Structure 1
């Protein structure tokens, strides 16, 4: 029996899945690690915590199976971190991750210097979320570490270096950094030169299913895997989630509510009309593209409410279910760490609007759940605006485990939705890349047909959809009204 192992380095934990030759999941593991917030706007993690979690999750997924039966390993990782390492691959500081917003000043400078290039080659405005912004911040604020750095690696690329001893990056992860030329599918020398960044910091890029190296003897001893096992280049967590959701052809769109909430669509080519609204990225399938719409703190908004005000998720869902759709005029803006699609703004912040004495705890919870989905609805509208078809709308991740949140999605989207039964979609996507890369699966269509399991269809209720359409129009007016206030003007 031959297996493939996929490991996803998420924001709060590493997750591993083991798939057999038919794409059936036969093992899984998980291990958590902390966030560090030493200053306002700073969000960092320790690479050694990631490494320990990878080993723990992989061992759980393998169980008592022979690691020699693992044909290939694939890695998925959180986007837009920056691991600054020396020539030996050792991190020089903690890793600023995608949630880190310290670099706004550097972003404003970069937009003045190279805004046209960023738009033309990366289809992006530079924001603090991007890896490039973190490189600029390091150069300006910690110049000694910048001088010592041999490589600026993305999170999963550093883990792959630890596994194999080989330095490299790959197109899907690199494509969202703002330092990448999406059309040429390579690092943009033009952008880096304009911003006076050493292009040598960025390693060569590979396609996602390319074999990037083999597990070293030292890594094998530390992780329980077998030395010599091939490792593919892998992918960013969102591109791998796209693959793990089966979004591999036009018309299939997926939404998910995890720490962030997102909507994703497949594309054959790029469209500049989505500039500064959607995030373009290279699809893990070589030569293809994908679009991402995002709400940074989607599921994190409900987690915040739970942690600050108490109660289990079951209790919160039950309270929200007793409240009518629309939460009797109460709205929640889920921008706890800035807004994303369609108006990226790191200064935006969350809040309740329309609060009245009659509103209860259940109203607050329902408003949070609805606000997250309203934010996702913007992404679907952006897809439609650039001509992307939505023939089948799939929903997955943690938010899809709630029957109420599933129904809210169908009603606010105004479409029937199909629940993805498969969990740990980014890790599954990484495993599928490993399977295609080593030849266990003949192609991506075959790989997805075995691994991506669909469950029930949740029908859109016409009467609720009509009411929600009116509410969504009111929600859409909130950011334009508050934009100047967020900016302190």
Structure 2
């Protein structure tokens, strides 16, 4: 049978994006123009016990295989050319030399490794500061790896391997172990500047060299799909397997926020910002850290503990569409600090003691609702002021994604408070981003692939008068955060200077 040949850089064909989230495994098939041809998902469940959160790694493979089979049923699979996969950041397991799981998957938010995190930061603190994130949290992969080495008898066996969540899947797809991507390896301590494991730090922590995988940049070719995986998934044997990224970075690619200064603001339960920079952005406070992009760019970002989750907490069971309509008609200037977490704030400032508050009168449910919409917008503006304070480029295109972006009034309000246009992609999800990344195996650059495949559904331009109307509200908001001792005065002063420009 003759092989179809494609011109270098041609996006012709079908590209697959695979996504392992917390609650589902998903497969999408996208063509070179960004048209979504098919999609399917399967649920994932885990177990929680206090700070512990685990999933069965074998379920990742079975769920993803089933999602692939459904999505590809009826497609001309001869046109499938490549795939990439994203997973949750910091999720790890141990496997034997044949790739069989020896432990459960310790999930991205598993916090059991508090003691190990102290040791990891004592030993590796200088390296973590050089890499721009200052310290590791207990939920990061390296403290959890140290926990597994301390508590799992299987960890001392011959040929044991550390696998990030997606590494198990790429092993199954290729039929043998392949390199991990640098995006998932970040929270395991991989040095993104030197592009190697920090050997001395690992030795002092007692992490055996043979435990750690080889690492390559996202977008690198890892191999091809083997016959056994083709049978299980329906993906044709020989399909190119491309190194992916974590779920947050995957969503950023799916939004097309890749040129220096471009940002993707994901408003879900919490607010997450991901951007692109030509240089590594270092944060002395450790609330912003950088991934390395598929190309030469760095991808700085931060995840807040505030966001749209406050609406489900405070307005559960109420009609949010009606509340939005009523709030828009009132247009009050009361503003709430929309903290979701009981553990304090983590971006754009770190304040474990932070708690919600409201400034101004909220005599009705609609007024209270509007105060929280406005609070998210003010916090989002403060995030950008903080990023600018760190020297990150922030003046490029801004896309809004996540569940909160579906509320058109709220998106407009955010644009007005920010004083900048915002874009709303038609399809913005991690799996789409991985299809874009897979398409770089054609020889196209990631920005070129995203320009062709990411479709913008709408663009909102704010009214300068409306931006001026909300400026005093924003300044009152940052004054209150400063008065409470959560926001550093130098950051507040920087925000005020930007507001005066």
| TM-score, scaled to structure 1 | 0.86
Q: 2:101, 2:307 → 1: CA distance?
A: 31
Match of 1:459 in 2: 462
Give the superposed CA RMSD.
Answer: 2.9
SS at 2:459 equivalent = strand
Say yes or no: does 1:7 pair with 2:18. yes
Q: 2:424, 2:356 → 1: CA distance?
A: 29
Q: CA deviation at 1:353?
A: 2.4
Say yes or no: does 1:295 pair with 2:304. yes
Change in CA separation of 1:45 and 1:354 when aligned onto 2, cut-off 3 Å: same
Say yes or no: does 1:166 pair with 2:176. yes
Q: CA deviation at 1:316?
A: 5.6
Q: 2:484, 2:163 → 1: CA distance?
A: 35
Q: 1:29 aligns with which of 37, 40, 49?
A: 40
In structure 1, list runs of 5 or more residues that go unmatched.
Answer: 484-489
Match of 2:418 in 1: 413
Q: CA deviation at 1:283?
A: 0.9
1:245-394 matches, within 5 Å, as 245-273=255-283, 276-285=286-295, 287-296=296-305, 298-305=307-314, 309-311=316-318, 313-314=320-321, 317-318=324-325, 321=328, 324-326=331-333, 328=334, 330-336=336-342, 339-344=345-350, 347=352, 351-354=355-358, 359-363=363-367, 365-387=369-391, 388-394=393-399
Task: Say whether the 8 Å CA contact 1:87–1:151 is kept in structure 2.
Answer: yes
SS at 1:310 equivalent = coil
Match of 1:401 in 2: 406
Q: 1:122, 1:335 → 2: CA distance?
A: 25
Say yes or no: does 1:422 pair with 2:434. no
Q: 2:87, 2:260 → 1: CA distance?
A: 25
SS at 1:391 equivalent = coil
Match of 1:473 in 2: 478
Match of 1:202 in 2: 212
Match of 1:486 in 2: none
Q: 2:323, 2:169 → 1: CA distance?
A: 37
Q: Deviations over 1:175-208 (max 9, x none)?
A: 2x15111211222213212322223222001222
Match of 1:431 in 2: 435
SS at 2:115 equivalent = helix
- Return 30-39 or 72-81, whichever deviates more: 30-39
1:229-244 matches, within 5 Å, as 229-244=239-254
In structure 2, list runs of 5 or more residues that go unmatched.
Answer: 1-11, 489-501
Q: CA deviation at 1:318?
A: 4.8
Match of 1:444 in 2: 446
Change in CA separation of 1:364 and 1:209 when aligned onto 2, cut-off 3 Å: same
Task: Say whether the 8 Å CA contact 2:217–2:294 is kept in structure 1.
Answer: yes
Change in CA separation of 1:192 and 1:450 when aligned onto 2, cut-off 3 Å: same
Q: CA deviation at 1:337?
A: 5.4
Q: 2:167, 2:417 → 1: CA distance?
A: 38
Q: 1:20 aligns with which of 4, 21, 31?
A: 31
Q: CA deviation at 1:400?
A: 0.9
Q: Deviations over 1:320-358 (max 9, x none)?
A: 5466444x354332334553223346x557x53249996
Task: Say whether the 8 Å CA contact 1:119–1:275 is kept in structure 2.
Answer: no
Q: 1:428, 1:320 → 2: CA distance?
A: 34
Match of 2:54 in 1: 44
| TM-score, scaled to structure 2 | 0.84
Q: 1:251, 1:209 → 2: CA distance?
A: 21
SS at 2:48 equivalent = coil
Match of 1:181 in 2: 191
Q: 1:319, 1:106 → 2: CA distance?
A: 50
1:11-160 matches, within 5 Å, as 11-39=22-50, 41-121=51-131, 123-140=133-150, 142-148=151-157, 150-160=160-170
- Return 148-157 or 470-479, whichever deviates more: 470-479
Change in CA separation of 1:184 and 1:445 when aligned onto 2, cut-off 3 Å: same
Change in CA separation of 1:273 and 1:38 when aligned onto 2, cut-off 3 Å: closer
Q: CA deviation at 1:303?
A: 4.4
Q: 1:87, 1:153 → 2: CA distance?
A: 11
Q: CA deviation at 1:237?
A: 1.6
